[in-house]
Structure 1
């Protein structure tokens, strides 16, 4: 979890460039004629105690607060009956618990939200690792010079004992590459171009959703989205090649 509202001294920073080069991007008006390869449904986990207390929460393995079922019920009802070709979930407890609530095992086995395979626990979908700053608040860290430097230049500064921004972006790019490889393998089967593209459910963290949108959607930076606990975002994807994606955000 990265809290923009706690960073009064933050400079405007370009957090990460899209993997699409300008030459590869398709004009927005041309997207109407595209055949989309898949739809990503990106879900942020429900609320934890550290979220409520506005503490940094990266790889620490906290569960959801009591009452998570009620908090996530609107999303569970929205997803009920939807079919997913694949389901991916961060392997941290708060995401696993969220998945169990929004897509109960009974629905998977009954075909209510059938996936072609069991949900896959994916460490690459973890939040950024904040190292020694995990569990700390902005007020606890605001006088630490390295922390203030990280706020201004997260691509250059790494939290003590934590993860570099380059490593964070690289593992998310590898996850996108795995979707590309899976979709290429599907091309072996004859496809109905009039059929809806397969949906892929991804239960993950706020920072991951921000960064994936930054990497995929032209004009998005890291702060363009503010995923709330239990909120879902839908992105249509055309996989033009490895590291080469055409994407569009859908209303949610």
Structure 2
């Protein structure tokens, strides 16, 4: 059995005002750094074997805060944990996006809709679940921290609970939150959802 702590990155300065996606240079702001420190102190209560992070700056900074206090490193960077590839939508404000029919379809039908770069929620789920399966084999009986993004975590939760991807709006994944999934190779179980710090 491998236990995964799925951690959403702490807040960046403009969280909620535009879609950051895979844009470069999106760092934690002052409030996000404070969130990351609280999260790191919370994670000190746990014992884990590895920390794996999405390549985005905001996830790496969150992972580093955990790594420093837990004295576990280095942080492994893994593109399979990356944010959804939103392509041309990245950097647009939500007011701009709400005028785009393709954006509205993406949010109404996550089970079949695709982003401008062609990624679907099922694609996201396949890549992250494939990485988790490899980590499960490598860290059997251990705990691994995965620092990633809200929709990536939602894809894992939907798969774990057997929900279609368009049910991802029925639960929240807040900045700097912890969701815990345990996997024995025969199937995963949701242990905790969206624990705040």
Question: TM-score, normalized by length of structure 1?
Answer: 0.67
**1:49 paired to 2:5:** no
C-alpha spacing 1:64/1:143, structure 2 compared with 1 (3 Å): same
C-alpha spacing 1:236/1:224, structure 2 compared with 1 (3 Å): farther
**1:161 paired to 2:117:** yes
Structure 1: stretches of 5+ with no match in the other structure? 1-36, 109-113, 187-196
Q: Secondary structure at the match of 1:100?
A: helix
Q: Secondary structure at the match of 1:103?
A: helix
Structure 1 vs Structure 2 CA RMSD: 2.4
Distance in 1 (alpha carbons) for counterparts of 2:55 and 2:36: 19
Q: What is the aligned residue count?
A: 191
Matched ranges for 1:1-252 at <5 A:
37-53=1-17, 55-61=18-24, 62-80=26-44, 82-104=46-68, 107-108=70-71, 114=72, 118-161=74-117, 163-183=119-139, 197-218=141-162, 221-240=167-186, 245-250=187-192, 252=195
Q: Alpha-carbon deviations, 1:208-242, whole Å to 9, x = none?
A: 111111111345832243111111122222211xx
Q: Which has the higher helix share?
A: 2
Contact 1:210 1:224 in 2 (8 A): no
Question: TM-score, normalized by length of structure 2?
Answer: 0.83
Q: Which has the larger radius of gyration?
A: 1
Contact 2:22 2:85 in 1 (8 A): yes
Distance in 2 (alpha carbons) for counterparts of 1:235 and 1:160: 30
Q: Secondary structure at the match of 1:222?
A: helix
Structure 2: stretches of 5+ with no match in the other structure? none
Q: Alpha-carbon deviations, 1:174-199, whole Å to 9, x = none?
A: 2122124325xx5xxxxxxxxxx421
Contact 1:50 1:56 in 2 (8 A): no
